[in-house]
Amino acid sequence: MGKSIGVELLICPFCKSKVQAENSQKISCISCHSEFYYENNILLFKKFNNEVITDELDRLKTLFKKWNNLYDFLIKVLSPVFIQMNLKKFIKDHTNDETIAINLGSGNSNLSEKITNVDIFPYENVNVCCDVNNIPIAEASVDLVINTAVLEHVTSPENVVDEIYRILKTGGIVYTYFPFIQPYHASPYDYSRRTIEGLKILHKRFDIKEVRIGAGPTSGFLWVLQEWLAILLSFGIKRIHHYVYLLVMVVTFPLKYLDLILSRFSTSNNISSAFILIARKK
């Protein structure tokens, strides 16, 4: 589990007033008196449960997320995406013991003990469970917000980026990883994709420092190819599709390492799987 966030930085998601600790298991709003509770050391403002997950592949991913190290290994090795985030170095360069940092939509990952993990699902490594459209954190109180492969899963990424802007201090940094060429992948839903220019527009209130490839053109092509082969060879039968897709993924994943070379080409932006944007609050 990451770093617990202080109650003094939290607000009520309903009326935006400050909250106070009632005891070790409960906090309450000082204005509307709404109460929020801890469960397994996770502060619950709002949570989804597994009943909202209807996609079978998403159910399988959710199952493996319980074993964080195994899940990370499978994603890094077997998935069609060769991820080039360099997050460990980024976190090392932008955090210290005094930094207030949030991993928004963290899943069960634990990037650093210096970072507070926020998600809608109460995974073991989550510190705060809430709706990312309505983050219960005070305005201008956070130094760094990381969100990776999150914004495509919300109905209004613009609203979430506005929330990130609100909670960041002046000069605070946002790190966004957003997909471009990727097939549908529910978690528990999937809504949108962005080009580089679209990603810049999404962060138009920020001072943009860097936009680069987060996963290259082979990753974009390979994931689509795997999905196409699964559709072709499953003859329209959904359950067979899932098994064929997993088999094709295991057979073809080594191709993604071509992105070690191809991601360096300027034209790779045309079909790259995902982009990374780093920006500062003005």
Beta bridge partners, 177, equal: 148, 276
Residue 177 and residue 87 in contact, taking contact as beta carbons nearer than 8 Å: no
Neighbour tally for 99: CB within 10 Å: 17
By DSSP bridging, strand 101-104 and strand 42-44 are unpaired
By DSSP bridging, strand 35-39 and strand 26-29 are antiparallel
Residue 81 and residue 215 in contact, taking contact as beta carbons nearer than 8 Å: yes
**CATH numeric code, 43-281:** 3.40.50.150
Residue 165: per-residue pLDDT: 98
Distance CA 65, CA 24 (A): 28
Distance CA 157, CA 163 (A): 10
What does the domain layout of the chain look like in residue ranges? 43-281
Interval 248-275: pLDDT, tens = 999 999 999 999 999 999 999 999 999 9
The residue with tokens 């072709």 is 232
Q: Retrieve residue 176's tokens.
A: 């966004």
Neighbour tally for 77: CB within 10 Å: 10
Straight-line distance from the first to the last Cα atom of the chain, in angstroms, rounded to the nearest whole number: 31
Residue 68 parent element (H or E): helix 68-77
Given a cut of 50, the residues of the chain with pLDDT beneath it are none
- The residue count of the chain comes to 282
Distance CA 79, CA 97 (A): 34
Neighbour tally for 114: CB within 10 Å: 18
Q: Retrieve residue 108's tokens.
A: 């069960």
Residue 51: per-residue pLDDT: 67
Residue 157 and residue 179 in contact, taking contact as beta carbons nearer than 8 Å: no
